[in-house]
Amino acid sequence: NAQIAMKRAKQSGHAELYQAGDSVTARQRFSLETELRRAIERDQLHLAFQPLIELSTGRVIGFEALARWDHPEKGAISPVDFIPVAEESGLIVALGRWALRAATRTLAEWDRRAGAPLPVHMAVNVSAVQFQRDDVVSAIKAALTESGIAGSRLKIELTESCIVTDPDGIARVLRAIHGLDVTIAMDDFGTGYSSLTYLQRLPIDVLKIDRSFVAPMLHDRDSVAIVRAILGLASALGMATTAEGVESEALIETLIGLGCDIAQGYYFARPLPSDEAFAYLRSRPA
Ligand code: C2E
Ligand code: MG
Ligand code: MG
Ligand code: MG
């Protein structure tokens, strides 16, 4: 576990939290876990919402809900730091259920403010660990029932690691989720180790192309080649595509030229507090 933590820490560039064998940082980690548990219990996490833009029309077609933790003393802690802590401690089950409920509740609240159901969906990240440890189908059902949101307006984002751990189990769960009319997106596509066989066999509706391929496209031909290949694969398999990490207009032109469907990134908007996300939606062409 320490090794996994180290690897994750290196990847995310936050090694200070996870030095293996270092008792001080082990204590820090433990305290972060304790504080995260408390934050979840006391409802001190919140969600930020980043718009998803349909490139052919410029319309906002949905939002991705992203967890935020504003620690009373330490300030904002990134999900890149606290999601791994949540996964290793099992707190991800409570956090994941909270995220599903809070995201669908927010969409229902926006509908009420608009006076009618808005033509947008909500995307929620579900961790591989949650797929292993929780009944994700019942968690989704509960969130939909409580909020009154139709399944077709919820999108689940999962990572390739979900498939690697238990391909048959995940296939069953994803089919059940699909049965609720919920859309399924493969997040950070291209960064994991899933085989193309599973991609074909699983009910995946959307490939989300990782920012690490999208961001360098303007100055790196290999990235363009990779994105083009992913778009071709998605199209051949009948899947839609979302590019993440779009920070410039030039990049949007490139993605439109290559036939990408949806984009998400700082060029359009950063992840926004609920009120600002709602205002952003209202300010854009319908
Ligand atoms: P992700 O699901 O791939 O989410 C996209 C991340 O890219 C977000 O980081 C978002 O703020 C960032 N991003 C979007 N557009 C741009 C851009 O143009 N430039 C740059 N530099 N970054 C951009 P964030 O919010 O820090 O979240 C990081 C990761 O933490 C997420 O990656 C996701 O894997 C995880 N995460 C966040 N919230 C949750 C949650 O509720 N549940 C679970 N299981 N994981 C979550
Ligand atoms: Mg995501
Ligand atoms: Mg992603
Ligand atoms: Mg990503």
pLDDT tens digits along 83-96: 999 999 999 999 99
Residues 48, 283, 245, 270: what is their CA dihedral angle, to the nearest 10 degrees?
-40
**Model confidence band, residue 16 (pLDDT cutoffs 50, 70, 90):** very low
Overall average pLDDT of the 21-48 stretch? 84
Atom of ligand 1 nearest to the CA of 126: 44
Q: Which residue type does 91 have? A: L
Instruction: Give the confidence band of 41 by pLDDT, cuts at 50, 70, 90.
Output: very high
Cross-strand partners of 209: 189, 243
The per-type count for the chain, helices as H runs and strands as E runs, is: 13, 9
Write out the two tokens for 105.
Answer: 């509740």
| Residue 126 structure tokens | 């579900």
State in Å: Cα 113 to ligand 4 middle: 31
Site to probe by mutation for ligand 1, drawn from 125, 159, 187 as the one with most ligand atoms within 8 Å of Cβ, is 125
Rounded to an integer, what is the distance from CA 254 to the centroid of its chain? 24
CB of 163 sitting under 6 A from ligand 1: no
Ligand nearest to the CA of 207: 3
**In this structure, which ligand is nearest to the CA of 156?**
2
Residue 252: exposure state from Cβ atoms within 10 A (0-12, 13-18, ≥19): buried
Q: What ipTM describes this predicted complex?
A: 0.98
Reduce the DSSP state of residue 55 to 3 states and report it.
coil
In angstroms, the CA 138 to CA 140 distance is 5
Residue ranges of E strands in the chain: 45-54, 60-71, 75-77, 121-125, 154-158, 183-189, 206-209, 240-244, 262-264
Could you read off the pLDDT of 250-285 as tens digits, one per residue? Answer: 999 999 999 999 999 999 999 999 999 999 999 987
Tokens at residue 267, please? Answer: 């060029």
Neighbour count for residue 68 (Cβ, 10 Å): 17
Mutate which of 70, 130, 244, 262 for ligand 1 pocket (most atoms within 8 A of beta carbon): 244
Measured from the CB, is residue 242 less than 6 Å from ligand 1? no
- Asked if residue 134 has its Cβ within 6 Å of ligand 1, the reply is no
- pTM for the predicted model, two decimal places: 0.91
Here the tokens at position 271 are 């992840």
CA trace torsion 10, 12, 14, 19 (10° rounding): -30
- Write down the pLDDT at residue 190: 87
Ligand 1 centroid – CA 69 distance (Å): 13
Instruction: Classify burial at 223, counting beta carbons within 10 Å of its beta carbon; exposed 0-12, middle 13-18, buried 19 or more.
Output: middle
Report which protein residue has its CA nearest ligand 1's atom 30.
79
Q: Which atom of ligand 1 is nearest to the CA of 86?
A: 44
Task: Find, among 18, 17, 68, the residue nearest to 47 by Cα.
Answer: 68
* DSSP reduced 3-state for 49: strand
